[in-house]
A = this chain, B = another copy of it.
């Protein structure tokens, strides 16, 4: 099988035209010389966890932020990367394929060869399994030619992908040593980047000379924090799904007799569902985060949907489109409790057909109430991140059935007088994941690939490649690197299986954030007025090619920019208040700074962040 990886292949005319597209580099990475500026030492957002995290990551915690700047930028103390010794770097796809992943490999390869043509990039074949087994393919321009700007991970493949057990970590280290790697680049989402952080720490501890770099590539869009504005693949996934959702909306409006229940991929967090709602304006979306925050039961949800259907029926509308994130099932409190019981029995080796008898009376009652198809799906073995197999659980069918039963009941009882309710269910998952990546994802991934090189050339370990200011055109993007340890946190909310272990946690939709606010403002119009909007199929030419996802446009991200701006203010204060300045100036500065300091102390001790 290995022999099939990286083989040249027949491309369609559109694939061909995409394969010759070459993204621009931001000005800071252009040319053969790049300056590296070190910022402050990093901490974590959750100050309560800082101590525990620093204990677990003694070698890689508290490293400094890094900015990559144009060689001409005059910055005090910056180091210059120009011609450098040849490097040997390995790259591995971890976790679910995300459109754009190939371009990270391309960008990294290009940067390596620009700085020293003797540098070698080895791709691990078949994900982390290939890493453990030391199965590699040397990346060349020739091999890349039919994979540039193309979807999927089929250049190298991937497997189940975790690097977590002692055995796995040892195998990874053995591979890096045997192949004499200067760097190992891990392309993946929250789980893979947690693994990358752990690997970097272990390598440092063991004095292994391979440096580990993480790249934020996940269609879920949930690897978001102060340093990371967006993930490779999210833009494409949302655009492809929004196209399909819009098509279904048009269909609903033409036939006027169906309610479409559409489940979307995206794991625990509902970013994909939220973004698609803002792009295509379906009638309703139920975010997992809302359900968790309000402790809504499955019956509350059913009632909520039925009430919406009834409100539409009063306007003589008998069609509609309802989006459901796949993570919804785990956000419903009683279903989550049931899943926890099932998973713990499964882990104890109880066979599937005996589980229902060993459930607590309460969980058993819920289980028996559910239709057979969903029971079968709830009994699936949990995933490596301890969550249920979300892509296999048809929450859309469950809700459609419950809603139908409730609407029939209301009709019989006379409280609903409209036409019969008809549902059609869809799952939009695998049909978007392998898509040709959008221009944004092509550009972003390619630039991240270049940054990986600069991180390794600087000799950094345990960093993630970052690009900020993403909402602007790519020539204005800012490039940098942040220690992955600064993104770790420890969950205490009593629901995570992994209490006490520092992880890069998936960022959920912020119910106090601007993006959610935008949804709330429009929710009633979406529900009742059918203001469907069709962004159309992903275009690679013409207007709209440069469009960004709504969440990137609305959110006020630029954290790194603000940190830099703040530092400029601090520098300015220092330069104004030099010995010799007037007593009044010193007094004013002192008073102002003391006030700022006490405000910040209070805010920080109240604990974290958005």
Contact = CB atoms under 8 A, between A and B. Distances in A.
Interface of A: 1, 4, 9-15, 17-18, 93, 96-97, 126, 150-154, 157-159, 240, 243-256, 258, 260, 315-317, 372-373, 424, 426-428, 430-436, 530-544, 547
B434 A250 contact: yes
A539 B539 contact: yes
Given A14-B543, A254-B158, A9 B531 contact: yes
A316 B434 contact: no
Contacts of A539: 14, 537, 539-541
Nearest to A102: B254
Contacts of A315: 1
B13 A543 contact: yes
A126 B255 CA distance: 8
A546 to B, nearest CB: 11
A152 B540 contact: no
A251 B97 contact: yes
Contacts of A97: 250-251, 254-255
A516 B317 CA distance: 44
Contacts of A251: 97, 152, 430, 433-434
Interface centre among A96, A159, A247 (most CB of B within 10 A): A247
A435 B240 CA distance: 12
How often does this chain occur in the complex, in copies?
2
Nearest to A532: B9
A434 B248 contact: yes
Contacts of A15: 533-534, 536
Contacts of A432: 247
A12 to B, nearest CB: 5
Given A430-B426, A537-B538, A539-B539, A544 B248 contact: no
15 contacts: A1-B315, A12-B534, A13-B544, A14-B542, A15-B533, A17-B544, A152-B250, A152-B251, A153-B254, A246-B434, A247-B431, A250-B434, A372-B372, A539-B539, A541-B542
Contacts of A258: 430
Contacts of A252: 434
Given A246-B434, A251-B97, A542-B17, A240 B537 contact: yes
Contacts of A532: 9
Contacts of A433: 247, 251
Given A152-B253, A431-B428, A543-B13, A436 B536 contact: yes
A577 B248 CA distance: 63
A26 to B, nearest CB: 25
A154 B542 contact: no
